A and B are shown apart, each in its own frame.
Chain A
Amino acid sequence: MNRGSKTIKYKTNNLNETTVENSILIAKEKIIVSLKPEKLNSADDDKIIDDLLPQKFGKAGKIWVGILLAFCMVGMFAYYRQLRYGLVVTSMRDYVSWGIYISNFVFFVAISLVGSLITAVFRLAGVKWGSPLTRIAEIIAVAAIIFASLIIIVDMGSPERFYNLFTHGRIQSPIIWDVIVITTYFFISILLLYYPLLPDIKILLRFKERSGVRLHKFYSFIGSFWKGTPEQFKLSDKAINILCVSIIPVAFTIHTVTSWLFATTYRPGWDSTNFGAYFIAGAFLVGAGAVVVAMYIFRKAYHLEKYITDNHFEKMGRVVVLLSLLYLYFNVNEFLTPFFKMKESEAAYLNGLFTGNFALVFWFAILAGMIVPILILLFKKGRKPLPVFIVGIMVVVGAWFKRYLIVTPTLLHPFLPMHDVPASYHHYFPSWEEWAITVGSLAGCMLIITLLARIFPIIPIQETLTEQHEIAEQNI
């Protein structure tokens, strides 16, 4: 049963009886007939609403936003320099023409897939415990996909020619497919964030003094039309269900196409039929890792222990360990067979990863990003909030370096040997401008998440109320 239908159950008891009857038909659940929300009094409701309403930034919040803004400003200055002097300010040259920006792009695309995992897959699979996490996942997805789009433009030497991609782009090119699916995924993610927000906006509009005039106007602009009628719920539920079904293939497509940017190119390490599934598995893992990190931080910052419980960390811990095992399996597939064959043309690339210049980063990504998380999360004690949070950080950091390893070592080991090029072309280490822009984009992504959490309830209020009423009903 979707959340809109549940909301009807609750709301209709505060409206008129005729509407209740209609809503029961719409909701298609027998449980509605026996729902007795009076077990939960309005004081309890008010407490839940009070707990979950967006809160103003405290001192720590302001410092956090200030730090993120500072990183963004440095990143923007570095980008100004890149626009002013060209891509020569980066360390990218003829061979490594895709560097840290593209690694970061792949990372953002990967992390954005969490919206489809937590919201759509969990919803369609009837995973009810995941509902307090849906808003977090949707916000992360929207923020990540925005910065995936921006960072790819940053990678362009002449961003003012971006429109040429549309006027002269070839539909045969995976880059155009990527542009199409990223745009599509962005719109679906926005809609999937917006539709379930509508009932919450109605609640937010009741607290003008708390939200302030400007924010109240904003809420009014985006959702004052929501009255919570059964017809509106019916349309909203239908839309959310369609979005949940649509976002899954689009999410698979977005990251599969991103993997094809590499796999359709004949190069050591990229020439793989495993890449689509390998990227999807990695994306779900990093997305789940990001959600557990966000869960822990929001729970601590907004004192949401009652709503994001230890049980949520236990369950998400299980999800992360499953995804880590899956991603580890794909990594074994990806590296064991080439290692076994050790083709001469790929030997330098593989040795570079296993024992050469990239070995430290490679083994860190494998150990910190997969093996250690598996070892921690397999034990019940490891699935407590703090260990899960630490594992989440390891997974996200490991995943970022994993993307770097997918892009750069391959470009440094072309099939044809490098001839007549300066010595610097044989190596790649990002310039300070590249680091500043990359860190700035990561800070920007976190800033969007922070601001959205300031504007909207980080846990769906209406859905929580409905669930509490359901629990009260079950306890009778």
Chain B
Amino acid sequence: MKLLNKISNGSLLILLILLSHSSFSQGTEKGDVSIAINYFINNNQVSYLVVKVKTKVDGRFKNVDGVALKLFLDKDSAGTFIAKVVTNKKGEATTTIPPSVEKQWHSQVKHTFLASFDGDKKYGPAKADLTVAKAKILIDAASDKTITATVFEKKDATWVPVKGVDVVLAIRRTAADLPINDKPTFTTDSTGKASGEFKRDHIPGDAKGNITLVAKIVDNDQYGNLVIEKSVPWGAKFTSVSTFNKRTLFATRNKAPVWLLFVVYSILIAVWGILVILVFNLFKIKKLGKSVAN
């Protein structure tokens, strides 16, 4: 009996140790997330933020969805609150800079965006920040098909040209932007200008030959992402040839190709014509039978 008691007590002890270890390890199993803030400004007008949240699983980064983040401008306070966002399946959340922080926005030329995650059942808390300087980009297209982008940074109350910024000069296409020539980027000089020669003649534009030129700064440490567009008539005129409303195999029933109608109805008339004749043939046989009976 004593032996039995010892065994049961020992088993209970081991079970308790295992359970306590298990509950302890559950508390420390929360994953870590990394937050990245990206700043964008399109055509020097609309500023917005894209926040990306990732975690490392088996040595690989994986997007994390459903993460609620609080975003602030410069400091974590009620007056500088930008938005509360939740990441989507790509691990991304987007928000514009709201009018509520306009006063703070105009008060200085450099800003720090703050993102904070309080943590949840799966992941521990995390924070990130991004500091950007106010900048703008202009684009100009000369008649000799030279494209010039000029980058300015706001210092105090004035815009001053910036030297040494990499600018992408490209043409906006449906799926992606196509560089204007073989050079991927152009660097601004002391006047803040970066120029490139347009070498995409005969590229299809719209019905009038218009194409959209793009000058952009991508993932710059100081300024973030800036994009500006300009429409120029340098493309080839392209008139879309639509088969909609034409007779095709994939059109509606009243737009069937004539050759198909001809083939199908010819076969139908021939075969069903024969069948009708054969049915009449039965009546003839019946008539013959009646005449014999009479």
Contact = CB atoms under 8 A, between A and B. Distances in A.
Contacts of B124: none
Nearest to A185: B271
A188 B260 contact: no
Nearest to B253: A170
Contacts of B290: 225
B285 interface: yes
B275 interface: yes
Interface in A141-161: none
B251 A172 contact: yes
Interface stretch (A51-59, A234-242, A286-294, A394-402): A234-242
A225 B250 contact: no
User: On chain B, which size bracket covers the interface?
Assistant: 20 to 34
B293 interface: yes
A224 B271 CA distance: 28
B257 interface: yes
A121 interface: no
A169 B264 CA distance: 14
A250 B250 CA distance: 25
Contacts of B271: 184, 246, 250
B275 A235 contact: no
Contact of A226 (B278, B284, B285): B285
A242 to B, nearest CB: 6
A328 B281 CA distance: 42
A177 B267 CA distance: 11
Contacts of B277: 242
B278 A239 contact: yes
A191 B260 CA distance: 29
Interface string B280-294: 011011101110110
Interface in A181-196: 184, 187-188, 191, 194-195
Contacts of A225: 285-286, 288-290
A224 B290 CA distance: 9
B12 interface: no
A184 B270 CA distance: 11
Given A170-B253, A171-B260, A227-B288, A239 B281 contact: yes
Interface string A201-242: 000000000000000000000001111010110011011001
Nearest to A238: B281
A236 B278 contact: no
B274 interface: yes
Given A171-B260, A172-B257, A243 B278 contact: yes
B61 interface: no
Contact of A229 (B249, B279, B292): B292
Interface string B245-271: 000011111001100110010001001
24 contacts: A170-B253, A170-B256, A171-B253, A171-B261, A171-B264, A172-B250, A172-B257, A184-B272, A191-B275, A191-B278, A191-B279, A195-B278, A225-B286, A225-B288, A226-B289, A227-B288, A229-B289, A229-B292, A231-B288, A235-B284, A238-B281, A242-B274, A243-B278, A246-B274
Interface of B: 249-253, 256-257, 260-261, 264, 268, 271-272, 274-275, 277-279, 281-282, 284-286, 288-290, 292-293
